[in-house]
Chains A and B, each alone.
Chain A
Amino acid sequence: MTVDREEDAPVERGGVVPERALAAAAMAVLCAITFANVVARYLTAYSFAFTEEYSVFLLVVMTFLGTSAAIATDRHIRITVLVDKLAPGRRRVAGVLCWGVAAVMFGLLSWYGGQFAYDNWRFEETSPGLGVPVWLYTVWLPILSIVITIRALMRTIAAARGNAP
Chain B
Amino acid sequence: MSPIALLFGGFLLLLLVGTPIAVALGLSGTLAILAADLGIMAVPTNIYAGVAKYPLLAIPVFILAGLIFERAGVARQIVTFASSIVGDRNGGLAVVAVLVCMVMGGISGSGPADAAAVATVMIPSMRKAGYPAAFSASVIAAAAATAILIPPSVAFIIYSVLVPQASVPALFAAGLIPGLLAGLSILIPVVILSRRHGFGLAGAGPRPPFWRSLRDAIWGLLAPVIILGGLRLGVFTPTEAAVVAVFYGLLIGTVVLRTLTFRKIGDVLAESAEMSAVILIVIALAGVFAWAGSTLGAFDAVADGILSFTGNEIVVLLLLNVALLGVGMLLDAISVFLILLPLLEPLVAAFGWDPVWFGVVLTMNLAIGQFTPPMAVNLMVTSRIAGVPMEHMTGWIAWLVLSMVGALALVVIFPELALWLPRRLGYL
Is the Cβ of A113 less than 8 Å from the Cβ of B380? no
A4 at interface by CB-CB < 8 Å = yes
Question: Which residues of A68-92 are within 8 A (CB) of B?
Answer: 69-71, 73, 75-83
Are B51's CB and A60's CB within 8 A? yes
Closest CB in chain B relative to A114 CB, distance in Å = 9
Query: Across the two chains, which residue of chain A brings its CB closest to B274?
Result: A66
Of the candidate stretches B9-17, B132-140, B299-307, the one touching chain A is B9-17
| Residue in B21, B30, B51, B274 whose CB lies within 8 Å of A59 | B51
Asked if B20 and A77 sit within 8 Å, CB to CB, the answer is yes
What residues on B are CB-neighbors of A79 within 8 Å?
15-16, 18, 21, 330-331, 375
Whether A109 contacts B43 in the complex (CB less than 8 A), given A2-B380, A23-B270, A116-B48, comes out as: yes
* Cβ of A30 under 8 Å from chain B: yes
Query: How far is B277's CA from A20's CA once the two chains are assembled, in angstroms?
Result: 10
Measured CA separation A3–B273 after assembly (Å): 20
Given A56-B54, A78-B20: A27 touches B244 (CB 8 Å cut-off): no
- Chain A residue nearest in CB terms to B269: A24
Chain A residue nearest in CB terms to B277: A66
In this complex, what residue of A is CB-closest to B332?
A: A77
Verify B278–A108 contact, CB threshold 8 A. Answer: no
Main DSSP-derived SS at the A contact region: helix
Mask of B209-247 contacts with A, CB within 8 angstroms, 1/0: 000000000000000000000000000100110011011
Kindly report which residue of chain B lies nearest to residue A165, judged by CB atoms: B18
Residue A147 CB within 8 A of the other chain: no
Q: Is the interface of B mostly helix, strand, loop or mixed?
A: helix
Partner of A76, one of B22, B40, B384: B22
How many residues does chain B have at the interface if contact means C-beta atoms less than 8 Å apart? 61
Q: Which residues of A contact B53 (CB under 8 A)?
A: 56
Check B246–A31 contact: CB distance below 8 A: yes
Q: Nearest chain B CB to A6's CB is how many angstroms away? A: 10
**Across-interface contacts of A34 in B (CB, < 8 A):** 57, 61, 239-240, 243
Within 8 A of B (CB), among A25-53: 25-28, 30-31, 34-35, 37-38, 52
- 0 or 1 for each of B50-86: is its CB under 8 Å from A? (1 = yes): 0111101100110010000000000000000000000
The answer to whether the Cβ of A9 comes within 8 Å of any Cβ in the partner chain is no
Q: Is the CB of B48 within 8 A of A23?
A: no
Number of A residues, CB within 8 Å of B = 63
Which residue of chain B has the shortest Cβ distance to A148 in the bound complex? Answer: B281
Contacting pair A115 B277 (CB below 8 A): no
Given contacts A30-B57, A59-B52, A70-B274, contact A1 B380 (CB under 8 A): yes
Contacts of A4 in B (CB 8 A): 384
A34 to B238, CA, bound (A): 12
Do the beta carbons of A59 and B26 come within 8 Å of each other? no
Check A24 against B266 for contact (C-beta < 8 Å).
Answer: yes
B30 and A27 contact, CB distance less than 8 A: no
- The residues of A with any CB-CB pair to B shorter than 8 Å are 1-4, 14-15, 20-21, 23-28, 30-31, 34-35, 37-38, 52, 55-57, 59-60, 62-67, 69-71, 73, 75-83, 94-95, 97-98, 101-102, 104-105, 108-109, 112-113, 115-116, 119, 137-138, 141
16 CB < 8 A contacts A-B? A23-B277, A30-B61, A38-B244, A60-B48, A63-B277, A63-B284, A64-B277, A65-B273, A66-B280, A67-B277, A76-B22, A80-B18, A81-B330, A105-B27, A105-B285, A116-B45
